[in-house]
Amino acid sequence: MTAIDGTILTAADAPAVLARYPKQGGNHGGPGYPGPRLSALLSCGTRSMIDAVFDSIQGR
């Protein structure tokens, strides 16, 4: 049996990161940090990660 899970991470505000991952909106209306999205395929029996993919939160 497998499961799919995902989350949005906070990355460093560096030029190389900004080239791939745009900034998210901040809590108070200002620009936030870049936010790569992590999607993972997991094995429920062994609790191991089968595969993982990083992508932009805008899904370019």
Beta bridge partners of 2: 43
Q: pTM of the full predicted structure?
A: 0.72
Q: For 2-47, what is each residue's pLDDT tens digit?
A: 999 999 888 888 999 988 888 887 667 667 788 899 999 999 999 9
Q: At residue 46, what are phi and psi to the nearest 5 degrees?
A: -100, -5
Q: 52: domain range?
A: 2-56
Give me the pLDDT at residue 35, please.
85
Q: At residue 16, what are phi and psi to the nearest 5 degrees?
A: -65, -35
Domain count, the chain: 1
Q: Are 44 and 54 in contact (CB under 8 A)?
A: no
